[in-house]
Amino acid sequence: FYYNIKEGYQRYSGMNQKNNNMAIKTHHILLVMLALTLFSCAKSPEEKARTLFEESIKPRMGNPDLYEYMQMTDLDSAYSSLSIDRNYLALEDSLKKNKTTIFDAFSKNYKAKEKKEKALEQEIKDYEDSFVPQYIGWHSIIEFRAENLFGGRQIYKADVYFNDELTKCLDWFVEAE
């Protein structure tokens, strides 16, 4: 009888050790699966950029429900340039509006308009000379479909700029295709 109890205890402790090893392996597998699940929930930089753009453009659309994302280029480093500098673009627009024409030669304020045009040209030249490109964050081109002013669906391309942390859409320039 004593031998059977001892043998039974040895069998029981051996089974218990196998169960403990099995439990440890199961815990490891569950931890790995949990970690993968948590990391797979994190958004990629491109997904963050897409979301930021959609959040910033939809309020400005006539019918935001008809916005449909199509594709986007990979994020790339963005540097400031005159072609996206709002101050520079405003100066150029002002110059276009104040350009003298042949018809202005016969008006009373021709000299004043010509003087203003020359001042704007000089201001633009000074701005161009003093401009130094700087790193501003990220850039991508996002293609989407949306409703145009006439109610038809149209494809647009947006040249979009984001801050370095991908927390803000800095600016975008949209063109219809």
The model carries a pTM of 0.66
Residue 64 and residue 51: Cα distance in Å, rounded? 14
The pLDDT assigned to 106 comes to 78
The pLDDT assigned to 128 comes to 95
- Element housing 12 (H / E): helix 2-41
Contact 49, 136 (CB under 8 A): no
- Residue 63 phi/psi, 5-degree rounding, is -135, 85
All residue ranges of the chain with pLDDT < 70 are 1-25, 27-28, 34-41
The contacts of residue 58 (CB under 8 Å, 6+ apart) are: 64, 67
Which tokens in the block code for residue 81?
A: 């340039």
The pLDDT assigned to 95 comes to 92
The pLDDT assigned to 1 comes to 47
The pLDDT assigned to 5 comes to 54
Residue 4 and residue 34: Cα distance in Å, rounded? 44
Q: Which of 97, 94, 79, 85 is nearest to 127 (CA)?
A: 85
The pLDDT assigned to 168 comes to 94
CA distance to 1, 82, 100, per residue, from 127 (Å): 103, 9, 22
